[in-house]
């Protein structure tokens, strides 16, 4: 089990097993060319998706900055976005419970 992390070993690794004459690192790993090409494909796809996420994140920041520049409240916009994602029935239930709690605490004045 060489290469695994061992917190009690020196520098977190167990000592390497002695190599046999003519043995090269990685000889024990038998990977098929198909498996490595699939793995490479998955890695490259994930890298592309990560790049796309960064672009989308930058676009979202630009839209929010534009909304703020026009006088809109970003916190309110984000709240509306969260509300619009919810199932209408679940949202109604959440708002009903919130209303009950606000009334129980005497905090319902001025909210209606």
Domain ranges of the chain: 30-72, 73-112
pTM: 0.56
The DSSP code for 15 is P
What's the confidence (pLDDT) of residue 110? 72
Angle (CA) 52-39-14 rounded to 5° is 115
Q: What is the pLDDT along the chain (112 residues), one digit of tens a residue?
A: 555 666 666 665 665 666 666 666 555 555 567 788 899 999 999 999 999 999 999 999 999 999 999 999 999 999 999 999 999 999 999 999 999 999 999 998 877 6
What's the confidence (pLDDT) of residue 109? 83
Choose among 95, 88, 60, 54: nearest CA to 74. Answer: 60
């Amino acid at each position: 089990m060489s290469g695994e992390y061992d917190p009690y070993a020196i520098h977190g690794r167990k000592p390497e097993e002695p190599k046999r004459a003519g043995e090269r690192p990685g000889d024990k790993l038998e990977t098929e060319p198909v498996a490595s090409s699939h793995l490479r494909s998955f890695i490259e796809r994930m890298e592309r998706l990560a790049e796309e996420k960064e672009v989308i994140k930058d676009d979202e920041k630009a839209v929010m900055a534009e909304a703020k520049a026009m006088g809109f409240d970003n916190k309110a916009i984000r709240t509306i976005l969260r509300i619009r994602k919810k199932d209408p029935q679940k949202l109604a239930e959440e708002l009903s419970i919130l209303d009950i709690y606000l009334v129980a605490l005497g905090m319902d004045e001025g909210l209606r």
